Chains A and B, each alone.
Chain A
Amino acid sequence: MGVITDNLDLWGETLVGTLILFFAGGLLALILGIIVGAMRVSPIPVARAVGSLYVNTIRNTPLTLVFFAFAFALPPLLGLRLTGPVSLTLAICALGIYTATYVAETIRSGINTVPVGQAEAARALGLTFGQVMSLVVMPQAFRSVIPPMMSVFIALLKNTTVAAGFSVVNLGSIRNYLSERGENQFLVILWVMAIFVALVLLLSWAQRVLENRWKVAR
């Protein structure tokens, strides 16, 4: 317990770092993922092509490589100076853009569960593509993809630790700090693990609540 109580400042700072990365990265991934998912089923061929290209390129790239591109290739290109907020933004973009591919594919699989006849009927009523998506298809698609979507977000939560190597303080970097303070590494890692298990349980709980609330009446 001393590992925690003696270093409360660091644990607090790193936990906040992890949560910021998770929520900001998750929000970016969700927005981008919905857009790309919709692009991949849209009637416009160019949108479909761009969506497929993005998903198939980024989804097959190791996350560390995505981070390297953002932390090492982008700053010189844009002439960025790596202050704290810049590093954080780059990390959020890397996480968001990487996770969005999984979100997009999950959403697309949800869209495929909605019978095509519904979209056709909606279009026959004169709704635009945007309206068909937001009023008819997405609400139904979402509830069927909650379990796999939560898996994507749990993966995102664990992926936030990669940012530790790229100048963003989070639970993945606390071991290096506490090692310099002379704490037992093994204990530190056990505690980090326990925190992640607790956070994942929280997400699983959120999944159950959402599933119950949006249950399809049969």
Chain B
Amino acid sequence: MRKTRLMTGIGISAIALLALTACNSGTPGSSGDGGDGGGGDETALWEVATDVTLEGSKTFDAMVARDGVVVGVKNDQPGLGMEDPATGERTGFDVDIARWIAASLGFSEDQIEYKTIPSANREQAIVNGDIDYYVGTYSITDKRKADISFAGPYFITGQGLLVAKDNTDINGPDDLAGKIVCSVTGSTPLQRIRDEYNPGDTVEYDTYSQCVEQLKAGSVDAITTDQAILAGYVALEPDALKIAGDTFSEERYGVGLDKDDTVLKDHINALFTDGGDVWTALFEEHLAPAGIQGEQPAVDQ
């Protein structure tokens, strides 16, 4: 009996120790010696601001109180918001936009805590105050503005189609008759396809990568969502996938914020407006290689 208890004790301590070291090796890895691929370059792009004050921003007060920023991002969108499952390293256009904002508020990389929030939970996470702001293919819509507010837009894209490289029959949404289209569960792009075009059938999974698997297996014919997201998958596997046709909607990506925090919103908007060089550099690094064209949009007033 005594022996079992001792063994349990040792076991628990060992697990605790493992957990601790795991955390320990994770944090400096992502912040320290250029954990993110372009870490060196990015520090050159912007400097961490000092003596920042944002009078009347409760989000900023909370950041200062806890001496860190909690950012909501995605972890499964190559080129935009991606987390390497092995190293925990986060990369992408959206993630760098989040880092840029944090730096402008006076927080360095090691003071940023990333939280992966799936699309369906975004408003709730902001309303609950689980995150300070959200950067992750977050389209500005009036419905969402009822619960939260948006800074930006910082990028404009539109709905597109992803097909297998050797597919020649699909060149736009009008060619979808009799074809099977895949996207994530409940997503607006899929509902638009269903309502306005005439697809053979639609399939819904939890993540885009599952759709990509089915597309490569030939079980579905096309994947639809914002073209910026699709382009990330093409960049990963240019030999297997391609974008078909042009965009057929307009999605304006913004930074999701607390509804009443206009001070922070104005700060981020000013940052975007004055930071054209940084924006262009980030775009060139992350999105241009995937074959996306675009220029920085003007922020909403």
Contacts and interface: CB of A to CB of B under 8 A. Distances in A.
Interface centre among B121, B191, B201 (most CB of A within 10 A): B201
A162 to B, nearest CB: 11
A213 interface: no
Interface in B119-137: 119-121, 123-124
B187 A180 contact: yes
Given A177-B186, A180-B186, A180-B187, A84 B143 contact: no
A182 B147 contact: yes
Contacts of B184: 176
Given A176-B185, A180-B186, A165 B219 contact: no
A80 B186 CA distance: 23
B134 to A, nearest CB: 14
Contacts, number: 75
Contact of B219 (A76, A84, A185): A76
Contacts of B218: 76, 79
Interface in A118-140: none
Interface stretch (B5-13, B42-50, B73-81, B203-211): B203-211
B263 interface: no
Contact of A75 (B147, B200, B219): B219
Interface string B170-211: 000000000010101111100100000000111111100010
A75 B180 contact: no
Nearest to B201: A83
B268 interface: no
A76 B217 contact: yes
Contacts of B124: 185-186
B217 A167 contact: no
Given A83-B200, A175-B120, A164 B185 contact: yes
B58 interface: no
A173 interface: yes
A81 B219 contact: yes
A165 B120 CA distance: 13
B165 interface: no
Q: Which 6 pairs from chain A and chain B are nearest by CB?
A: A176-B186, A182-B143, A177-B186, A76-B217, A179-B120, A75-B219
Interface of B: 119-121, 123-124, 141, 143-144, 146-147, 180, 182, 184-188, 191, 200-206, 210, 213-214, 217-220
20 contacts: A72-B213, A72-B217, A75-B214, A81-B219, A82-B220, A83-B201, A165-B206, A167-B185, A167-B203, A173-B204, A175-B120, A176-B119, A176-B120, A176-B186, A176-B187, A178-B186, A179-B119, A179-B121, A179-B123, A185-B124
Interface of A: 72, 75-76, 79-84, 87, 164-167, 169, 173, 175-182, 185-186
Given A79-B218, A173-B186, A182-B141, 19 more contacts: A72-B210, A72-B213, A72-B217, A75-B219, A76-B219, A82-B182, A82-B201, A82-B203, A82-B220, A84-B201, A84-B202, A166-B205, A176-B119, A176-B120, A176-B187, A177-B185, A178-B186, A180-B191, A186-B124
